[in-house]
Amino acid sequence: MSVRFDQVSVSFGRRAALNRVSASLMAGSVTGIVGPNGAGKTTLLRAALGLQPLSHGHVDVLGKALADWPREALARAMAYLPQGGEARWPMPVEDVVLLGRLPYRGFGPPDLKDRLAAADALARCEAPHFARRRMDELSAGERARVLFARALATGAAVLFADEPAAYLDPSHQLRLMDLLREEARRGTAVAVTLHDLSLAARHCDRVLVLEQGALAADGPPAEAFADATLARVFKIAREPDSLQLGAFRRL
């Protein structure tokens, strides 16, 4: 078990963003986190990363309580791709990806190992030909791939990606899900928030469905996306006569 949430609650003022969520993320598997807007998907990731103080419960990472991790070691153990991330300066792609190696570096420049890890991450994201280009010369989708490569370059045991599919065209969305799968095959615990339920259904081993901060379902996609859950949480139903996976209508 790579990450364990035990009765985790988070409140923003009076509003409970997460309400006693207990769940686990397994090494070698892709876990999808879905739910309507404001259900607490991002908050769950931030809680696991230690970016969000908990009002109740605790999080264990790789068998150790989150609070007991030294900051740098935690950064090597967990990589995070925030939602809608951008590089604020038009840096060369290679330098952006190398930022993923910061937890391994002191104050010195990146060494050969860092550069090889960055080159490998870029290659896995099918972006090695961007390496010398600047971020402002790329399209939004290309930039998203570079930022994803940055998260991969860390080589962490746990990878969190918040809405990584948001700016990608359908082909690159599928490529992204393949990448997440490859990363899981290496033994990484991958957790990804998604709005696209069909992507989640087809590409995740397990799905956590959040509803107003509480865990509404947790299991394999077929189980988690039961008709009753879809109707209650998302107010949608499967199209009965459609062969298309992931065709829904509003209730």
Partner 1 sequence: MDATTVSILQEQRFSRSARWTLALIVAALVFALASFLIGPADYAPRELLMGLFTGKGAAGVIAQEIRLPRAALALIVGAALGGSGAALQGLFANPLAEPGVTGVTACAGLGAVVAMYFGLVALHPLTLPVFAIAGALIAAAILYALSKSGAGAVALVLAGVAIGSFATALTALALSLARNPYAMSEMVLWMMGSLKDRTLNDLSYALPLVACGLGLLATTGRGLDALTLGEEAARSLGIAVGSLRGRVVLGVALATGAATAAAGAVSFVGLMVPHLLRPLFGYQPSRLLVPSMIGGAAMVAGADVALRLITPDGQLLLGVITAMLGAPFFLWLILKLRRQP
Binding site for partner 1 (CB under 8 A): 46, 49, 51, 71-72, 74-76, 78-82, 85-92, 95-96, 99-100, 102-103, 105, 107, 109-110, 112, 115-116, 119, 128, 131, 134, 136, 147, 150, 154
CB of 169 to partner 1, least distance (A): 19
Q: Which is nearer to partner 1, 78 or 177 (CB)?
A: 78
Q: Which is nearer to partner 1, 110 or 221 (CB)?
A: 110
Q: Which is nearer to partner 1, 113 or 185 (CB)?
A: 113
Q: Which is nearer to partner 1, 95 or 205 (CB)?
A: 95
Q: Which is nearer to partner 1, 141 or 170 (CB)?
A: 141
CB of 70 to partner 1, least distance (A): 9
Residue with tokens 């998203």: 144
CB of 143 to partner 1, least distance (A): 12
CB of 140 to partner 1, least distance (A): 10
CB of 137 to partner 1, least distance (A): 12
